[in-house]
Structure 1
């Protein structure tokens, strides 16, 4: 189940607000208009789009919208609930047989888990199950990398086009030194293009690319747990042993939280009894 990741829009908005406050502090409301320049926007955005057209195929560029949306979503799959799922599957498989797990698939939303359970029900060897599911993880990593690469390239090209705009502004300024009235606008183009490119790269594109990479690593980690769970269920491992094996993937923070929740429940029970 996926839900919105509010930290991404909050971080981007907070960054722009801090920049605006810095401008307002020194220049007032009139300072805001001095940081808006259409020519600079044309140079940075237009040059960035042109570079992407050269670097990628149209099919890849069309996927950019979907990739950007992933930076605003998060996976709400919790490891304790995932471990409990495989413990329940293991108990039922030992009690009723591996074929009984087909009835459990209707309640499972994750297609990766469904695929693993179906392979187990079909009697596929554990080594083959591991290879098949690991190949799917590898393919997923490659898809995520190709999508993330577009955002990373935006982070590389934006500052470069900012520098190109700076050079354009400097050339225009040097060519019109005899006209003092044009020095200010040309200097604005020279400086604002660098500002626009740097802000887009360091506040939007590069942080998003890093977040997408972290999300991929988290998803790979969860899928590895799923593989271990499927193989444990297929091989008929004792549910308690499977629980100990999968619990090793939990972080110390998760273990501490679970122990804290247990302690709180115990104290509440004693208070109620008193």
Structure 2
């Protein structure tokens, strides 16, 4: 047990590891935008399970439910239709209360683009972190080598400098391949499932809107003409 503890303390420097990890998270945040850090860590809460794993919900299932409700009860029946995905529920609710097919299509595509970007930024953040981490480790290695050469050939000072040099590279590789990249792969798989599901429901809802709702013509406003003074 003592041997394990000795090796653990030899390979783990909490301060140095925190510096490497903090540098990686900071650079990934700068690369992906100010909201990416919060979204990336919030996504970790649900990353351990597949979307709709408990309910078995999927795009085909939801589109058939929508068609069944429309056939049996009409548009009013959509009020009771719910999905495990909040975005899909909002699309159905919007379809129920829409009067213009064109306006519904514009709204649905805009909202789909917004949620897709939010979904993709989580995987993109951890992908950036996995790419940045080795570079952060290499920077630490170069700093350590500079410190080593600056001290000369003093055996008493070579040890800490060599330790710093090797540990930064080790931590960079660890953060990249053991932490960030597996998270990226997992979140990217979730994003593909959700984006594909949402796209199918949006396309189906737009087709229903074009069939069930009217398409109002654009409103033209004539410019105001100032009246001429009389006299």
**Distance in 1 separating the partners of 2:58 and 2:19:** 50
> Is 1:91 paired with 2:44?
no
How far 1:52 moved relative to its partner? 5.4
**Distance in 1 separating the partners of 2:43 and 2:57:** 28
**Distance in 2 separating the partners of 1:58 and 1:207:** 23
How far 1:93 moved relative to its partner? 2.4
Q: 1:232 to 1:58 in 2, by over 3 A?
A: closer
1:142 to 90, 114, 117: 117
How far 1:34 moved relative to its partner? 2.3
Larger relative helix fraction: 1
Q: 1:153 to 1:209 in 2, by over 3 A?
A: same
> Is 1:179 paired with 2:166?
no
1:113 to 70, 88, 92: 88
Paired residues of 1:173 and 1:187 also in contact (CA < 8 A): yes
Query: Structure 2, unaligned stretches of length 5 or more?
Result: 213-231
Q: For 1:76, what is the secondary structure of its paired residue?
A: coil
Q: 1:83 to 1:137 in 2, by over 3 A?
A: same
Matches within 5 A, 1:20-99: 29=4, 30-38=6-14, 40-41=16-17, 43-48=19-24, 51=27, 59-76=35-52, 83-99=60-76
* RMSD of equivalent CA atoms: 3.4
Query: Structure 1, unaligned stretches of length 5 or more?
Result: 1-23, 237-274
**Distance in 2 separating the partners of 1:199 and 1:160:** 12
Aligned length: 208
Q: 1:233 to 1:203 in 2, by over 3 A?
A: same
More off after superposition, 143-152 vs 181-190? 143-152
Q: 1:33 to 1:76 in 2, by over 3 A?
A: same
